[in-house]
């Protein structure tokens, strides 16, 4: 089973700061997902990637398959970015089930005005 580790567990930033959240995993994957969960709220998929880099607005996600590592960056952070950010992976499907995600424990981000 894949082990997914996120760092840091908690992150506090000032509005406008550049933020990086890291995710590492132990076994080869077919895809990595970044999700966002606002306090008391539902979960929203931000990115799904299997190589390279993706950008959506102020959010950038990168992945290094060889190093088994992904980062989520937030540029010009804003208080509305305060949420839990969750990394999840799908194991390389050549080995079996494609249906299951293995989740990290999440990173709680607080952006102060």
Question: Under the rule (CB under 8 A), what is the footprint of other proteins?
Answer: 4, 30-31, 33, 35, 41-45, 48, 50, 86, 88, 90, 93, 98-106
Query: Smallest distance, Å, CB 33 to other proteins?
Result: 7
Q: Residue 22 forms beta bridges with which residues? A: 7, 71
Nearer to other proteins, 14 or 110 (CB): 110
Give kind and range of the element (H or E) at residue 90: strand 83-91
Nearest to 40 by CA among 78, 69, 100, 82: 82
Nearer to other proteins, 110 or 112 (CB): 110
Nearer to other proteins, 14 or 64 (CB): 64
**Distance in angstroms (rounded) separating the CA atoms of residues 6 and 68:** 12
């Amino acid at each position: 089973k894949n082990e997914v580790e996120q760092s840091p567990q908690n992150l506090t930033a000032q509005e406008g700061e550049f933020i990086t959240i890291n995710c590492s995993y132990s076994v080869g994957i077919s895809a990595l997902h970044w999700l966002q969960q606002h306090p008391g709220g539902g979960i929203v998929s931000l990115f799904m990637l299997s190589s390279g880099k993706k950008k959506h607005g102020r959010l950038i996600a990168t992945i290094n398959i060889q190093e088994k590592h992904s980062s989520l960056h937030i540029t010009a952070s804003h208080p509305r970015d305060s949420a839990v950010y969750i990394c999840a992976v799908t194991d390389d499907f050549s080995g079996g089930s494609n249906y299951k995600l293995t989740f990290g424990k999440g990173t709680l981000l607080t952006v102060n005005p």
